Amino acid sequence: MKSQDIYVLLKIVSLEHSKGSQLYNRGLSEPAGWSSDDPDVSLPEISNAPFSLRALSAHTGIGKSEVGNSLRRSEYSGLCRSPSDGGSIKVNKKALLEFLVYGLKYVFPVRPGAMVRGIPTGFFAPSLSKNLLSVSEDAWVWPDAYGSMKGQAIEPLHSKVPKGVKIDSELYTLMALTDALRLGKPREVGVATELLREKLR
């Protein structure tokens, strides 16, 4: 397994929530953690086949061949399947949730770094801030020149995550929740688990 496997699977989950309609920039016109003049917020060409390797590559920033390799790894491990009728890839949400909750922080550990400007993550993300259980800690941010918040640097699960979340608010929430699982205290992990459980039904 590689870190991009989780990123790609959560992108597919986000697409499933929108039924593949590619509703990008959903809610991102409001303050979302980065400057409005960020060039990464421009949308790639929209595909008529949003679950295709080409579309997934364009909207995650990961190369097409690597997206294909990622999906093959995930299928082998039981985290997704490709329907025999050629339909859209289906994520095994129950298995994905189990891995995120019980395995992610051990396979892809992370520790807060130096204070930098970046995009808020974990419960500091705008869509999750109402669930923040403590304000005594410094914010967690993915380092980004266009980020709107200063906080402790958190290495994103994959280097392309900051680019991908800027055009998909649902993906942003999902990726921020994975950081809450990787970094949070027990109570925060519990809240993140329940929020992810709702999103991965």
24-39: pLDDT as tens digits? 444 444 455 655 555 6
Mean pLDDT of the chain: 86
CB-based contacts of 83, cutoff 8 Å, min separation 6: 89, 90
103-160: pLDDT as tens digits? 999 999 999 999 999 999 998 998 888 876 665 578 999 999 989 899 999 999 999 9
**Which pLDDT does position 95 carry in this prediction?**
97
Q: How far apart are CA 172 and CA 170, in angstroms?
A: 5
Residue 62: band (very low, low, confident or very high) from pLDDT cuts 50, 70, 90:
very high
CB-based contacts of 18, cutoff 8 Å, min separation 6: 26, 170
Q: What tokens appear for 172 in the block?
A: 């942003």
Domains and CATH numbers, the chain: 3-22+44-107 (1.10.10), 115-199 (no CATH)
Locate all alpha helices (DSSP H) within 19-78, ordered by sequence.
53-60, 64-76
> What percent of the chain stands above pLDDT 90?
62
* Cβ contact 11:171 at 8 Å: yes
